[in-house]
Structure 1
Amino acid sequence: MPLNFCLQNIFTKMGWVVAAWGEAGLVALELPCITLEEALGKIGLRIDKLKRHQKNSPLYTNSHDPKINLSHHVLKEALISYFNGEKVNTVTIPVDFSFYSSFARQVLPLVQQIPYGKTYSYQQIACLAKQPKAARAVGRALQANHTPLVIPCHRVIHHHGDLGGFSRGSNWKHKLLTLEGIRITSSSILI
């Protein structure tokens, strides 16, 4: 069965964000791009990746579902506020975790709980997942995250303060953490 999806285009102070929604919630989110075309191209790549790993969770085209429409509104307001430098909470935005490995399905909801302006280490997330020796596996799970900001993987860093990786590069990770008021020098967090 082909995947169908509902795209949501959101203009923020930093550019165009595109979200892809499925029946169970948010499936993919692309960080701000200068043009809508660029954002649509990048979300298309994320969706193609999801299609290759399709489980039994079809994406949807019906934008008349009141629950999903409310989630669209909440996401739009949260992203506009976030890129205006306001503190936001994205915990209530439903995410479809069915496209992820079982370990990622365990880790990503934990990361979604990290508050605005705070950081956790890969090691701390591994401990919260009750697998204290799995810090590298946490990194791999976050690498698979298709919903950055809603699952704020940019808030997960190395235990010694280095930023670690990010899907859009360390410059974006640095930019997002700085926006949240976290002081950074070069590639390390000031603690």
Structure 2
Amino acid sequence: MTRYQSKVNFPPIAGIEIEVSELGLRRLILLPGEYFKKYKLSGSRTTLADNWCDKLDLVLEVETQLLEYLEGRRRSFSIPLDLDIGTDFQKRVWGILQEIPYGCYSTYKEIAKKAGKPHAARAVGNACAANPIPIIIPCHRVIRTDGRLGGYTSCVNAKKALLMLEGAI
């Protein structure tokens, strides 16, 4: 397993932590600005594992594609994913989320219906909260039926910023 941190300039997201395995991207953590201040991380890149060089190409490709997305130059991702965690329902929800086009959004209720559990909107929200790879598995594209944004893994302001970047709101 290789973990890596990189700063980004997309307030309120100040950085990303990437974790990759032999199979692909395993986890993506969005870091708020306070994280870098708290841990006094000033460099643009920080390697968190000794076996860093083993996955260098994949790590750099993930970083490149994410930065292109945050700069508005990328609408989809071509990164292998390692999703060996999650329940069957969560994995089904994550697959449905990947079908929501750039610049669009769906509701928790609509996702529940597509997953075959029409009364499981709350469970869809829990699956979104458990999403190990936000942005690439675009849980930010799921909102409440009443039009409010709902929660998001790092903060609601990040969800709003991502939806605005895509022109969805």
* TM-score, structure 1 as length reference: 0.70
Structure 2: 5+ residue stretches without partners: 42-50
Q: Residue type matched to 1:176 in 2?
A: L
Determine the structure 2 residue equivalent to 1:12: 8
Which residue in the other structure is 1:31 paired with?
A: 30
Q: 1:78 aligns with which of 50, 55, 65?
A: 65
Deviations 1:121-170 (A, max 9, x none): 11121122122222111111111112111111010011221111112121
> What's the offset of the Cα at 1:118?
0.8
Q: Does 1:104 align with 2:100?
A: no
1:127 aligned onto 2:123: no
Structural RMSD (CA)? 2.5
Contact 1:120–1:156 (Cα < 8 Å) also in 2 = yes
The 1:162/1:147 distance shift into structure 2, 3 A limit, reads same
- Once the two structures are superposed, the pairs formed by residues 148-159 of structure 1 within 5 Å of their partners are 148-159=134-145
Provide Cα deviations, 1:37-70, integer angstroms capped at 9, x if missing partner. 578xxxxxxxxxxxxxxxxxxxxx47446xx83x
Q: What does residue 164 of structure 1 align with?
A: 150
Deviates more, 1:127-136 or 1:142-151: 127-136
Counterpart of 1:48? none
User: What is the distance in 1 between the residues matched to 2:89 and 2:131?
Assistant: 12
- CA distance in structure 1 between the partners assigned to 2:120 and 2:61 by the alignment: 33
Looking at structure 1, the residues matched to 40 and 119 of structure 2 have their Cα atoms a distance apart, in angstroms, of 39
Query: 1:172 is aligned with what amino acid?
Result: A
Q: Percent identity?
A: 33
Residues 143 and 166 of structure 1 are in contact (CA less than 8 Å); yes or no, is this contact kept in structure 2?
yes
- Report the number of matched residues: 155
Matched, 1:139 2:125: yes
Shift of 1:84: 1.2
Give the CA deviation at 1:119. Answer: 0.3
Question: RCO higher in 1 or 2 (8 Å CA, sep ≥ 6)?
Answer: 2
Looking at structure 2, the residues matched to 73 and 112 of structure 1 have their Cα atoms a distance apart, in angstroms, of 22
Question: Could you tell me which amino acid in structure 1 is paired with residue 81 of structure 2?
Answer: V
1:89 matched to 2:79: no
The structure 1 segments of at least 4 consecutive aligned residues displaced by more than 6 Å after TM superposition are none
1:13 match: secondary structure? strand
* TM-score normalised over the length of structure 2: 0.78
Q: Contact conserved, 2:32 with 2:154, CA < 8 A, in 1?
A: no
Q: Distance in 2 between matches of 1:20 and 1:94?
A: 12
- Deviation at residue 96 of structure 1 after TM alignment: 2.0
Match of 1:51 in 2: none
